[in-house]
Chains A and B, each alone.
Chain A
Amino acid sequence: MADFALISAKCTYENGLFLKIICAQGLSEAVFDENARIKTDIFLFSYVFAIELLLILRKTRKTIAGVTRYAVNRAGFGNSVRANGNLRQWLLNALLCSVSFEPGSLMKSMKEFSMINAKRVCKSFGSREVLTGIDLNIGKGKIFGLLGPSGAGKTTLIKIITGQLAKDSGEVTVFGKDVNTLTGADKKRIGIMMDDHGVYDRLSCADNLKIFADIYGVPHDRIDKALEQVGLAGSYKKPAMKLSKGMKVRLRLARVLLVSPEIMFLDEPTSGLDPVTTKQIHKLINDQKDRGCTVFLTTHNMEEATVLCDEVALLNEGKIVERGAPDQICRRYNHKKTIRLHLKSGEDIELEHSGASASALEKLMEQGEIETIHSSEPTLETVFIELTGRRLDAEEEAQYA
């Protein structure tokens, strides 16, 4: 068995781009000693391939050098690779070859990375189609935001993904398993905070968490930590009914954090909260991401999505109309490409992104005339309006009008 230590791992798989990433970022920076043992940080590898390699090592009981030969020979291009004599290139090819001869195991590894996967999910209530062919793929350690106005189907989708609601057609996998076949142990790796989930009002914050600590088999000393994490340490004995709305949300979040889940589903986690509480909750969500938790959140707050999410999907009338990183989406829809300036004189001017504008801009800066300067990239909301003709909060405003 080779001297192979999996120090730490990071998923670099993203929507089928993993091979590219491996070649560009992974192995090109890997360092090997003369015995062909991995010396460097395993971060440089794609976790998918590291697992693949580990599986082969265990299976064949060979060293890394041995397994590369094994893989290369089995794939049938040993001579050409060996002729190259470059160990790095050799190992790269070996890893890629392992894909060729172990497709099943690779797929299994990929599913492990795709923490949440949905394919062509459809759902109707009576004659009303709520979701029509939803596809999602969310990797480990990502914050994914599902954006859409009220009634777009966000909660329905989250309920289908968490197994609370049956879908009409399509496939949903969580941890690589069909959502309907998740075991009790799997469910304990998932934390769900739905907008309408309540707490036991008459019980204290600590007693509320004790129930779930007992159910999940979590030691009671974790309760203090969970309450401290959400800033409710001072409300340990306070009945939940005496908490403010924001504090109740934090208590519900503490209930989710109690078990340190690998996936968190958060349905409108900051809806109706004040900016300070919202910021605290954003910090908590980011902390979870930092420890490797995958977060699936629904919101109709585009600022929240821009600040928090690695990837967002815009949902409208049951269809995903756009997806990607928030800044990428905004850049994609930046048709105007202008710079807006507010001058000290009070005048507002708009300059185009062009060489001709550069000298004008430079001149104004030299003269110290510029008060503020903004580029014209659209926000997620303006993108949404452009795509659908609707505002994200339109229905909500109508409700309260």
Chain B
Amino acid sequence: MRNVLIIFKKQLRDTLKNKTVLIQFIMFPAMTLIMENCINVPDMPELFFTKLFAIMYMGMAPLTSVASIISEEKEKNTLRVLMMANVKAWEYLAGVGLYVWTLCMAGAGVMATGIPNDHIPFFLAVMAAGFIISIVMGACVGVFAPNQMVATSLFMPVMLVFSFAPMLALFNDKIEKIAGIFYTQQLRILLNQMTFDGINAKTVTVLAVNAALALGLFFAAFRKKGLE
């Protein structure tokens, strides 16, 4: 556990100086605040931008940042140095995962400032679940990719599918049907309802299958490539 916190602290120091990753955490919460406060279109659904950007944030930030962090460490061989200093692979991954999850939750907290207080726990719970699945997917890419360039070419299509499919589903029925199999779309539906009562068997099944697939791919990638 000590090493997990050391990795967490290291990432915190590093991210403050890493604009590429830092912008991932700041962009959507900042855009949400700006858009919600500046744009007021008649008949626009309540909290439209918050819900839209929340799903994009969920599908984009954790996935890209985890993949970037792991692949950068692999490329620069700093990860190998950590491993030789007796940091276990699970400690490293848990440290990075915990750090990204915490920062994303802080971003979600900022996004939640416009939400009525009684809906905030639900919003944060949905975001927390989505972040976890995205983090595992990002770890899959990070573990599989030998360097940042490969990681970018791998996470870009995955990230686009998961973060933009729910938005495109708003305008196209066929896309909505297909997007239904993605965790981001199911969580968007939940956010629209803003109540735990909205959780049904389909939602649970899709989330469970997505999480299981992400975990399965992660373990397959880890078994094949390890962390070095």
Give the total of A residues in contact with B, Cβ under 8 Å: 23
User: Chain B residues near A196 (CB, 8 Å)?
Assistant: 77
Whether A192 sits at the interface, judged by CB under 8 Å, is yes
Query: Which A residues, 170 to 221, have Cβ-Cβ distances below 8 Å to chain B?
Result: 184, 187-188, 192, 194, 196-203, 207, 211-212, 214-216
User: Chain B residues near A192 (CB, 8 Å)?
Assistant: 81, 84
Contact (A211, B10) CB under 8 Å given A164-B84, A187-B84, A202-B18: yes
User: Chain A residues near B10 (CB, 8 Å)?
Assistant: 200, 203, 211
**A369 to B94 Cα, complex, angstroms:** 75
Choose among B6, B13, B81 the residue with the greatest number of A CB atoms under 10 Å from its CB: B81
The minimal Cβ–Cβ distance linking A13 to chain B, given in whole angstroms, is: 28
**A187 to B81 Cα, complex, angstroms:** 12
Whether B102 sits at the interface, judged by CB under 8 Å, is no
For B87, the closest partner residue in chain A by CB is A215
**A77 to B41 Cα, complex, angstroms:** 107
User: Chain B residues near A207 (CB, 8 Å)?
Assistant: 13
Contact (A214, B14) CB under 8 Å given A164-B84, A184-B86, A197-B78: no
User: Chain B residues near A216 (CB, 8 Å)?
Assistant: 85
**A343 to B134 Cα, complex, angstroms:** 79
User: Chain A residues near B9 (CB, 8 Å)?
Assistant: 211, 214
Contact (A203, B17) CB under 8 Å given A194-B77, A198-B78, A214-B6: yes
Whether A246 sits at the interface, judged by CB under 8 Å, is no
User: Chain B residues near A164 (CB, 8 Å)?
Assistant: 80, 84, 228
The minimal Cβ–Cβ distance linking A16 to chain B, given in whole angstroms, is: 32
For B84, the closest partner residue in chain A by CB is A192
The minimal Cβ–Cβ distance linking A271 to chain B, given in whole angstroms, is: 15
Whether A162 sits at the interface, judged by CB under 8 Å, is yes
Whether B3 sits at the interface, judged by CB under 8 Å, is yes
Chain B: interface size category: 10 to 19
Whether A239 sits at the interface, judged by CB under 8 Å, is yes
User: Chain B residues near A184 (CB, 8 Å)?
Assistant: 86
The minimal Cβ–Cβ distance linking A280 to chain B, given in whole angstroms, is: 22
User: Chain B residues near A211 (CB, 8 Å)?
Assistant: 6, 9-10
Whether B225 sits at the interface, judged by CB under 8 Å, is no
Q: Quick check: A198 and B77 within 8 Å, CB to CB?
A: yes
Q: Quick check: B84 and A203 within 8 Å, CB to CB?
A: no
User: Chain B residues near A239 (CB, 8 Å)?
Assistant: 17
**Other-chain contact of A201, B3, B13, B76 (Cβ < 8 Å):** B76
Q: Quick check: A197 and B81 within 8 Å, CB to CB?
A: yes
Query: Which B residues, 1 to 23, have Cβ-Cβ distances below 8 Å to chain A?
Result: 3, 6, 9-10, 13-14, 17-18
User: Chain A residues near B78 (CB, 8 Å)?
Assistant: 197-200
User: Chain A residues near B13 (CB, 8 Å)?
Assistant: 203, 207
For A214, the closest partner residue in chain B by CB is B6
Q: Quick check: B6 and A215 within 8 Å, CB to CB?
A: yes
The minimal Cβ–Cβ distance linking A310 to chain B, given in whole angstroms, is: 25
Which residues of B are interface residues toward A (Cβ below 8 A)?
3, 6, 9-10, 13-14, 17-18, 76-78, 80-82, 84-87, 228
Which residues of A are interface residues toward B (Cβ below 8 A)?
162, 164, 184, 187-188, 192, 194, 196-203, 207, 211-212, 214-216, 239, 255
